[in-house]
Amino acid sequence: MGREAVVSVPDIGDYKNVEIIEVLVKTGDAVKADDSLIALESDKAAMEVPSPFGGTVKEVKVQLGDRVSQGSPILTLVVEEGDAPTAASEPAPAAAAAPPKPEPTAEPPAAATAPPSAPAATPQPAQVTAAVAPPPPTTTPLGEGAPPHASPSVRKFARELGADLAQIRGTGIKGRILKEDVQNFIKQRLQQPERTAASGFSLPEPVEIDFSQFGPVDRKPMSRIKKLSATNLHRAWVGIPHVTHQDEADITDLEAFRVSLKQEAERREVKLTLLPFIMKAVIATLKAFPNFNASLAANGEELILKQYYHLGFAVDTPDGLVVPVLRDADRKSVYEIAAELAELGVRARNRKLRNTDLQGGTFTISSLGGIGGTSFTPIVNAPEVSILGVCKAQLKPVYQNGQWVPRLMLPLSLSYDHRVIDGAEAARFAATLAQLLGDLRRVLL
């Protein structure tokens, strides 16, 4: 059974209230003597605090961003017999560790600690001061997900250039990152075509976080479909100035009509849901507002108005979202649309869609109506310029002709590319669609 020792910040020269810029260990980590525990950065220097001896981290007492001075406790280590600090090192024998004054940002001297060898005599945690020095080149990593090894000066250099050490492959001993590695990484990045320059801004690199430091985790690979749609959704979300317009359609009469057709639909062996009727109303609305059935030319100076109506519809599958396209929906009856929707839906869920089933859409509908919700903000399915989101119809009290009456109201969420479509135009599109859904006979007009 080991004994506990509190490791605290050693003599760091004239520096006080220095910010912790990295916490390099977590509870449960096994550390060796000279493994780095935390990294500090003052306005002048960056330095790492290595462990004065080996052990297992019992409790980390600091957090990223904390400010510390000499003597501030960093963590409690459980130290094995024979590797433990002596009683002579209690309570804060800076001399025991005898650290040299830190050499700001310069390559430091070799390991400065001399872990006491005698077993501890008291059951109280020993107070041990760590020495400020980076781990020697032979220090081994702390395990998977451990931060990359680099000297404080290299860390500071990387930070100044905005280079993420986690992305750099070190060519030094045991993978240690050298200044040249940081320089090469930056050179490579500068030579890469600037993917985001055309859109006028760049995104910060995502930060890699070790979530297991907060609790148990599991890792599950993203499906191929999810990975593909993630790229498309991200591109559309970042590249298109989105606005979502909300409206409601009174579908009381439409729903009554749909229900009245149930037997006929059964005879035709078709499941007649709301979606085919919504598609019919959408096509009539697109004909009245051609800008919504269009794409922005790559030069950004022309609108390509499509003379065909291929409607994409989002299908929820166990592998993720797919958007098959129902071609020439304007030339098909409600029954034909219903049959084709069902067929494409089944193929989507059975991963039997062909590439051509997923191409050429001019406008997309994402219906969550069978599930629920009152509104959402669908992402435009680029290169289209607009998408209709539909949620679950609800019976609501509506004031009509001097009295409150129950009406079945369908929530509509219309997202659009504001470079192409103005807010007033979107409001008119949604109002027209709502009017058509309120009285589908108008589709004939």
Q: Which residues are catalytic?
A: 418
Contact, 185 vs 168, CB < 8 A? yes
DSSP at 327: T
State the nearest-atom distance from the C-beta of 412 to ligand CAO, in Å.
Answer: 10
Q: Which of 111, 410, 426, 436 binds ligand CAO (CB under 6 A)?
A: 410
Per CB under 6 A, 390 contacts ligand CAO: yes
Q: Which of 87, 261, 321, 358 binds ligand CAO (CB under 6 A)?
A: 321
**Calpha distance 435→419 (Å, rounded):** 26
Per CB under 6 A, 363 contacts ligand CAO: no
Segment interacting with ligand CAO (CB under 6 A) among 48-56, 209-217, 235-243, 388-396? 388-396
Site for ligand CAO in 163-222 (CB under 6 A): none
Mark residues 274-313: x for contact with ligand CAO by CB under 6 A, - for none: xx-------------------------------------x
Per CB under 6 A, 409 contacts ligand CAO: no
State the nearest-atom distance from the C-beta of 323 to ligand CAO, in Å.
Answer: 8
**Calpha distance 372→12 (Å, rounded):** 60
Per CB under 6 A, 361 contacts ligand CAO: no
DSSP at 190: H
Residues found in the chain: 445
Per CB under 6 A, 315 contacts ligand CAO: yes
Question: Nearest 10 degrees: CA dihedral of 113, 118, 124, 126?
Answer: -10
Tokens of 430: 């949604």
Q: Which of 45, 283, 368, 434 binds ligand CAO (CB under 6 A)?
A: 368
Mark residues 150-169: x for contact with ligand CAO by CB under 6 A, - for none: --------------------
**Calpha distance 130→97 (Å, rounded):** 6
DSSP string across 345-413: HHHHHTT---GGGGS--SEEEEE-TTT--S---PPP-TTSSEEEEE---EEEEEEETTEEEEEEEEEEE
State the nearest-atom distance from the C-beta of 329 to ligand CAO, in Å.
Answer: 14
Per CB under 6 A, 388 contacts ligand CAO: no
Which residue do the tokens 């995502």 mark? 206
State the nearest-atom distance from the C-beta of 7 to ligand CAO, in Å.
Answer: 49
Which residue do the tokens 């390559």 mark? 107
Distance of CA 138 to the CA centre of its chain: 36
State the nearest-atom distance from the C-beta of 322 to ligand CAO, in Å.
Answer: 9
Beta strand 294-296 with 303-305 is: antiparallel
**Calpha distance 433→259 (Å, rounded):** 21
Size of the site for ligand CAO (CB under 6 A): 20
State the nearest-atom distance from the C-beta of 401 to ligand CAO, in Å.
Answer: 25
Residues 6+ positions from 321 with CB-CB distance below 8 Å:
225, 226, 229, 314, 315
- By the criterion CB under 6 A, which residues form the site for ligand CAO? 273-275, 313-316, 321, 341, 345, 366-370, 378, 390, 392-393, 410
